[in-house]
DNA sequence: CGTGTAAGGAATTCTGACACG
DNA sequence: CGTGTAAGGAATTCTGACACG
């Protein structure tokens, strides 16, 4: 099974993913006019919106928009929904960081595909593996060679 | 710190992310004419391309395109690059599955944000945590309460 | 085979104004 | 405050053809 390449690691972090307002609107269920209004209030911001050109949003903005929408649906006002989304955004950054840094390599364990997530902090003699077995993932410690 | 909500779990899997050809081209560095040609050869396929309407690609297609491009840059022919990309695509599915299933909840460990990835297969008394500490991630076993 | 380009039309997005509330 | 809509123009994407090789 192939090793994770540098290109693919970059993809996990997806720092460069960007998409237009139509796609963001369709994905999130938030209308284009809502998105433009939120932008005018500086709640969200496109990567570049240089004078009449099409807006481009990054992946983290998608997450933010979806979360804001969730709180709006729960009955909160827009400013409150935005404030609440900020806590979750921190969390997303963490998840992304883990994605980038912890997927060390791809291997096979007993014929099942597995991700080597690297050594334990307290016991570097063991690596943590996430193994896909019978359609679900399990976590297992495996000693280094 | 907030719990991971159902909405956010869905985002990790990002099954619904879709973007246009301009965005895919800019992200991947593959030209629009290349993407249309690859489609004509059935190497990639948009979600929907109903008669003159704009193409929409899903996230896994981005990954596939980037990987194909990598092998093209390495000097392989297009058919070979496509074949090689398929092995990596399997891997991406695994990574995605782990993302969806293994991020159980968000917590704080000694003041640092951490992701609870759930119990070990062999010793369910311990959960595996990915902790962001001083800007990097570490893995630690923590006993269940 | 694999990609680029010019061409004309179609789909998408832009801004600023206005409506409703 | 927060969102929707009609309007006209601009940016983007569409297809099919052709060039190069």
CA A9 vs CA A42, A104, B71, B112, B119: distances in Å: 31, 9, 16, 24, 25
Q: State how far Cα B37 lies from the chain centre.
A: 25
Residue A55 is predicted with a pLDDT of 95
Residue A30 is predicted with a pLDDT of 97
Nearest to A8 by CA among A117, A111, A104, A107: A104
In tens digits, chain A (145 residues) has pLDDT values of: 555 555 555 555 444 789 999 999 999 999 999 999 999 999 999 997 666 789 999 988 998 999 999 999 999 999 999 999 988 777 777 777 777 677 767 788 888 888 889 999 999 999 999 998 888 889 999 998 7
With CA atoms as reference, the chain A residue closest to B84 would be A2
Q: Which residues of chain B make contact with A101, given a CB cutoff of 8 A?
A: 136-137
Nearest to A19 among B1, B7, B19 (CB): B19
By DSSP bridging, strand B57-58 and strand B18-19 are antiparallel
Distance from CA of B142 to the nearest CA of A (A): 11
What backbone torsions phi and psi does residue B133 show, to the nearest 5 degrees? Answer: -125, 120
By DSSP bridging, strand B126-133 and strand B136-143 are antiparallel
Q: Is residue B80 predicted with pLDDT exceeding 90? A: yes
B54 nearest nucleotide via C1' and CA: D13
Task: Report if CB A31 to strand D is under 7 Å.
Answer: yes
Residue A89 is predicted with a pLDDT of 74
Q: Please tell me which residue lies nearest to nucleotide C14, judged from CA to C1'.
A: A52
Distance from CA of A117 to the nearest CA of B (A): 8
Residue A15 is predicted with a pLDDT of 45
List of A residues 21-60 with CB within 7 A of strand C: 21-23, 32, 36, 49, 51-55
Q: Which residues of chain B make contact with A8, given a CB cutoff of 8 A?
A: 63, 66-67, 88, 91-92
- pLDDT tens for each residue of B6-33: 555 555 544 478 999 999 999 999 999 9
- pLDDT tens for each residue of B29-78: 999 999 999 999 999 999 876 667 899 999 889 989 999 999 999 999 99
Q: Please tell me which residue lies nearest to nucleotide D10, judged from CA to C1'.
A: A52
Task: Report if CB A50 to strand D is under 7 Å.
Answer: no
| Alpha helices, H only, A41-111 | 59-73, 78-102
User: What does DSSP assign to residue B52?
Assistant: T
């Amino acid at each position: 099974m192939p090793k994770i390449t540098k290109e693919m690691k970059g993809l996990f972090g997806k720092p460069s993913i960007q998409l237009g307002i139509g796609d963001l609107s369709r994905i999130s269920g938030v209308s284009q006019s809502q998105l433009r209004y939120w932008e005018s209030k500086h709640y969200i911001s496109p990567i570049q919106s240089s004078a009449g050109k099409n807006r481009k949003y990054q992946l983290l903005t998608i997450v933010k928009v979806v979360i804001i929408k969730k709180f709006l649906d729960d009955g909160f006002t827009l400013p409150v929904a935005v404030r609440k989304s900020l806590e979750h955004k921190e969390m997303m950054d963490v998840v992304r960081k883990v994605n980038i840094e912890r997927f060390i390599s791809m291997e096979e364990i007993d014929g099942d595909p597995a991700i080597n997530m690297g050594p334990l902090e307290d016991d570097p003699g063991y690596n943590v593996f996430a193994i896909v077995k019978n359609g679900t993932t399990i976590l297992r410690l495996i000693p280094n060679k």
